[in-house]
Amino acid sequence: MLAGLIAPFIGNKYWHWSQLVLVLSVVLAAMGFIVLAAETVRVHHVLRAKLPALEKNLNTLLMQNEQLLNGSGEKVGLLDLEHQLKMISRERGRVWRGVQPTGEVDDQGVVQVEIAQPQPHGLEKDAIVYAFEAGEVNPTDPSAGRQYLGEFRVTETVDGGPTPRQVALEPVLLIDPRTGERLAGSQGPWSLYETMPADRHKLYAGLEEEQLRQLLPADSLDEYLRHGTPATADDDEWHQVGLNENDERVGPENLDQAVKFLYDRPLRDYAYLFSELAQQRVVLQASRQAVAQDLVKLTEALQSAEELGTFREQQRTALASDLTGMQGDRLAIETHRDLVQHQLTHAKQLIERLLARNSELADRLTQRQMGLLESINSAAPAPSGR
């Protein structure tokens, strides 16, 4: 830098002014570069001095975060707590009771309902709810009493102020005539469940047989009564649970440790089952329509076949008549053919006789001509010669 400052001072008598400006610009740029480089070194030094402490804090925070997520020792982690919360929410979903339909069901199955309690009801648009009729259970007649109405989507919510809030429900699955009639005939009240009620063994624990008979259909009663009783040889592996000597349940991989087996009623996922049954119903309806269409096509094909059979029978009769005529024609043709062959044979014989006669006459004519030639030769004078 000193050289760069001294050089213009010494050479100002001999250099052009533009050269002086260039040298000074280079010197000033070098000074700025040195200042920036020094500042960069200082910043790097300050930041790098903090890196060990920051890395240590980061490792500590990562370890604490891991402990908070997955737990440590007896402490339960957030993931386990979230799982437990989801299980509790699934088992104890929100329920809106006393829901009253307020209008007729339209062609698409949409129905307006009123939710009196709570206010606000907390149902958001596009939420899925499961509707049940509220009433007495009639196990002897499943079509009577309380029924499952279906899975619905909230399409509209209306705040009625002091009056109960209005909610529009649209069925998730297609409505068949039976379900439509059941919805149209339901007078309420309904119960709306945020999640499909789960099937649990503890719901029926401690109930007497008579109580179960009043609650359950006769076809399903036996498996509820047998739950927890010793298993029999006729029970498959899906209806058995093994217990060890401490009456603790063992897993499928440790069944060799079980000392006894009890009958276990399989739990049902009704939301899945209803969805599967609805899909099967759609498939069966489509198959039924396809079979009906096939039946119509087969009927038309059978009718066409019958008409074609009648036409073919008429053709067969006409062909039989033609065959009789053609057989007569054939007989006439064969008779004519025999006559022609006889005439042809006779003609061939005549031709052969004529050929033989012609050959004989030709030989005679030749002999005669030769005789005449000899006569002429003998009568004619001999030619002159030397």
Highest-confidence segment of 8-17, 26-35, 198-207, 323-332: 323-332
What's residue 141's pLDDT? 58
Mean pLDDT in residue range 347-356: 92
Q: What is the CATH number assigned to the segment(s) 93-197?
A: 2.40.30
The answer to whether the CB of 96 falls within 8 A of the CB of 183 is: no
- Say yes or no to pLDDT of 90 above 80: no
pLDDT tier for residue 47 given thresholds of 50, 70 and 90? confident
Q: How many C-beta atoms surround the C-beta of residue 68 within 10 A?
A: 14
pLDDT tier for residue 383 given thresholds of 50, 70 and 90? low
Distance from C-alpha of 237 to C-alpha of 231, rounded to nearest angstrom: 10
Predicted TM-score (pTM) of the model is 0.51
- Across the chain, mean pLDDT equals 83
Q: 164: cis peptide before it, omega within 30°?
A: no
pLDDT digits (tens, 9 = 90+) for 297-329: 999 999 999 999 999 999 999 999 999 999 999
What's residue 143's pLDDT? 55
Of the listed ranges 174-183, 254-263, 304-313, the one predicted with least confidence: 174-183
pLDDT digits (tens, 9 = 90+) for 59-83: 999 988 888 888 887 788 888 888 8
Phi, psi angles (nearest 5°) of residue 149: -90, -30
Distance from C-alpha of 133 to C-alpha of 350, rounded to nearest angstrom: 117
Whole-number percent of the chain with pLDDT over 70: 90
The answer to whether the CB of 153 falls within 8 A of the CB of 170 is: yes
pLDDT tier for residue 123 given thresholds of 50, 70 and 90? confident
Highest-confidence segment of 9-23, 27-41, 123-137, 248-262: 27-41
Phi, psi angles (nearest 5°) of residue 108: -90, 0
- Say yes or no to pLDDT of 139 above 60: no
Highest-confidence segment of 19-28, 108-117, 150-159, 308-317: 308-317
Distance from C-alpha of 125 to C-alpha of 168, rounded to nearest angstrom: 9
**Domain spans of the chain, in order of start:** 1-47, 93-197, 202-267, 271-325
Mean pLDDT in residue range 254-279: 85
DSSP code per residue over 197-224: PPP-GGGGTT--HHHHHHHS-HHHHHHH
DSSP state of 70: H
Distance from C-alpha of 11 to C-alpha of 249, rounded to nearest angstrom: 102
Q: Is 342 helix (H, G, I), strand (E, B) or coil?
A: helix
Mean pLDDT in residue range 350-354: 92
Mean pLDDT in residue range 176-181: 78
Q: At CA 174, angle to CA 171 and CA 177, rounded to 5?
A: 105
Distance from C-alpha of 294 to C-alpha of 311, rounded to nearest angstrom: 25
Q: How many C-beta atoms surround the C-beta of residue 154 within 10 A?
A: 19
What's residue 371's pLDDT? 85
DSSP code per residue over 359-378: HHHHHHHHHHHHHHHHHHHH
Give all strands (DSSP E) within 77-158, no chain letters. Answer: 95-101, 111-115, 128-133, 148-158
